[in-house]
Chain A
Amino acid sequence: MGSQKRIAKELSELVESPPAGISVELADEANLYEWKVHMKGPEGSPYQGGVFLLKLSLPTAYPFKPPTVSFATKIYHPNVTNDEKGSMCLGMLRADEWKPSSKISAVLQFARQLLAEPMPDDAIEGRIAEQYRNDRQRYDEVAREWTRKHAAHQ
């Protein structure tokens, strides 16, 4: 019960004053626990110009348990799995790192920050992380290419 109130509150805050480059809506009006998030690629990153769709799902025990964030749009990024799931590795979302006082807006902003500055040391896609570290130019090219192909603004 308590979780719904808090989620509704955070949702209305996010809808009323969304953080830069992020817009939020419910995937299904009847279900508060599944959100759709549109995130613009941060300027100056190879994802610039793309709009990425993220799925955010909240556990019923929210805020005591962390939400999970995944990319529905394919993205070339060391911290996002390169498969159908598009799972994202965010430090603050790990169960032992999560704090009930963290807000969803902070999570989303952190996710966007991760697009601007990938963290190759925490990577899930080791190959991309390797490339990010050693061949930055090539990485930028591929990421830009993928953004154009998958996340082009309709």
Chain B
Amino acid sequence: MSTMDLQEFLASEATHDRDDLVDLRALDFVSSYDSHLMCPICHCPFVEPVRLQCDHVFCYKCLQSAITIFRSADTDEFPCPSCRTPTSRVSTSVPRLLINMCDEIQVQCPLQAEGCAEVLPRGHVQSHVDKYCGYRLVPCPDDSCEKTIRKKDLQSEERCLHGYFRCSRCEEDVMEKDYEEHDEELCPSLETSCVDCGTTLPQRELKKHVDTCPDVVSPCSASKYGCPVKIRRADSAIHEQICPLVSMGPYFEAQNTRLNSLELTMRHLQQRNEIFEDGMANIRTTLLESARAGRGSNRRRSLTEDDMNPTRSEDDESAERSSNVFSSNATTYLLSLHESLREEVNQVSHALTDLDARASMTIMNECLRIKEDMAHTNAAVNSVRLQVQWLMNPRLHNGARTGGIRSNTATPGNETARSQLTSTSAPGSSSAAGSSLGPLRPRRPSDSGREGTKL
């Protein structure tokens, strides 16, 4: 069953938290672990994680105590300890991944205090303690004996090792399980001598002795500054008073630290210098590029479009050469090339817009001039036409008169023709004249218009 309500959950028992099992929360963790693997309640990696409806995960046991404390008696809900979402169901199915990650964390064997140095994944601790760890205390195989014994001391012989032995040398009673250790190290009768002073002393005190033995020969404390003297510990005080290197020691120390810090600064400066040099090289390449590009574009302007490509490739070659000289960095080189090309394109487009503006200006100027000219010409033509009409009028009159004579009509005379010239007051005569003189209608000189020109 993967989900249950609170009652069931409280009634159920966590499998990992029984007393006879290793307490996984008390373990020493060797490495740090991801904080997401930490139960928000006990701050340990999850032990038997369970999940709430709001997707928050807790240890089984932690959640049980949280529910007992937070649940209000009359409801079947309790607030999630992380987000306070009311929750009534607990799911025991959490991603396998989470459990594996928690079980993988490296821990010390819980019997570290007894001497086990084993480091193992948390998931294996239980079986290690149960089966393999030699430092676990197990009850003595002899039923009459009530003591416990380390598993590794038990070895294969299944018998009580709690009987006392009398050490043959020191006459001390030693329990059988400790006898080996006693025999090899702890027995006071075991003696050894200090290599330096020749004193004989019990073996277990040797270590302490060597640290204080006045006869141990050790190098002078200023040996790292070159003092060759090796001297007995007892005499070292006298030597240190006369040894010039010892008195110089602090000074050397200070110098050393200064040197170190200076070196550090040097390295910083070198790095910065390198950066600047790189930058310089870049700038130089870019400059060279743009200079070449300027030349190239000048040339290009004089060339036709078909010649563009050869120029470009020539540019590339020379740029390559310069790149070998100034910068080994291909990317930087490409970037600078790109930059210079962009510059060039910009220049060209500027020139284009310039030209465009200039051309349109000229065209406008030209237009204006032409318009003016046309107006002048129009006026001239008009005046010429007027003159022509004025000049034409007498001839028209003559023509009318001769026409009238030729057709022998009674009414038209010099007078009527003149009266028609000045006014068309007499409709009868005018209509008669109109019908007879159709194409040669007389006009007043002030008459303007194109009808006149259609003459």
Contacts and interface: CB of A to CB of B under 8 A. Distances in A.
B43 A10 contact: yes
B44 A5 contact: yes
Contacts of A64: 41, 65-66, 69-70, 81
Given A61-B69, A64-B69, A6 B81 contact: no
A100 B44 contact: no
Interface string A63-80: 111000000000000000
B66 A2 contact: no
B135 to A, nearest CB: 23
Given A64-B70, A101-B40, A5 B25 contact: yes
A62 B300 CA distance: 83
B42 interface: yes
A63 B25 contact: no
Nearest to B41: A100
Nearest to B25: A5
A101 B41 contact: yes
Nearest to A61: B69
B41 A63 contact: yes
A144 B277 CA distance: 52
A99 interface: yes
A2 B42 contact: yes
A64 B82 CA distance: 11
A99 B81 contact: yes
A9 B25 CA distance: 10
B42 A5 contact: yes
Interface in A100-130: 100-101, 103
Interface in A42-95: 61, 63-65
A103 B44 CA distance: 13
Contacts of A6: 41-44
B46 to A, nearest CB: 13
B274 to A, nearest CB: 36
Contact of A101 (B26, B61, B69, B81): B81
Interface string B36-78: 0000111110000000000000000110011001100000000
Instruction: Report the interface size class on chain B.
Output: 10 to 19
Contacts of B69: 61, 64-65
A128 B66 CA distance: 39
Nearest to B61: A2
Given A101-B81, A101-B82, A2 B65 contact: yes
A99 B56 CA distance: 13
Contacts of A5: 25-26, 42, 44
A101 B88 CA distance: 19
B81 A100 contact: yes
Contacts of A100: 40-41, 66, 81-82
A46 B42 CA distance: 38
Nearest to B84: A99
Contacts of B43: 6, 9-10, 103
A63 B62 CA distance: 10
Contacts of B26: 5
A142 to B, nearest CB: 39
Contacts of A103: 43
Contacts of B81: 64, 99-101
A65 B61 CA distance: 17
Contacts of A10: 43
Contacts of A101: 40-41, 81-82
Nearest to B56: A101
Q: In the complex, which of the residues B25, B26, B83 has the most CB atoms of chain A within 10 Å of its own CB atom?
A: B25
Q: In the complex, which of the residues B25, B41, B62, B83 has the most CB atoms of chain A within 10 Å of its own CB atom?
A: B41
Contacts of B70: 64
Q: In the complex, which of the residues B26, B44, B69, B81 has the most CB atoms of chain A within 10 Å of its own CB atom?
A: B81
A24 to B, nearest CB: 16
B177 to A, nearest CB: 33
B144 to A, nearest CB: 35
B82 A99 contact: yes
Contacts of A61: 69
A2 B60 CA distance: 13
A100 B84 CA distance: 10
Q: In the complex, which of the residues A63, A101, A103 has the most CB atoms of chain B within 10 Å of its own CB atom?
A: A101
A2 B62 contact: yes
A26 B236 CA distance: 45
A103 to B, nearest CB: 8
A107 to B, nearest CB: 14
A94 to B, nearest CB: 13
A61 B41 CA distance: 11
Interface string B300-324: 0000000000000000000000000
A102 B85 CA distance: 16
10 contacts: A2-B41, A2-B62, A5-B42, A6-B43, A6-B44, A9-B43, A64-B66, A100-B41, A100-B82, A101-B82
Interface of B: 25-26, 40-44, 61-62, 65-66, 69-70, 81-84
Given A64-B81, A100-B40, 7 more contacts: A2-B61, A5-B25, A64-B41, A65-B69, A99-B84, A100-B82, A101-B81
Q: Please provide the 9 A-B residue pairs with the shortest distance between their CB atoms, ordered closest to farther.
A: A101-B40, A100-B81, A64-B69, A101-B82, A100-B41, A6-B43, A9-B43, A6-B42, A2-B42
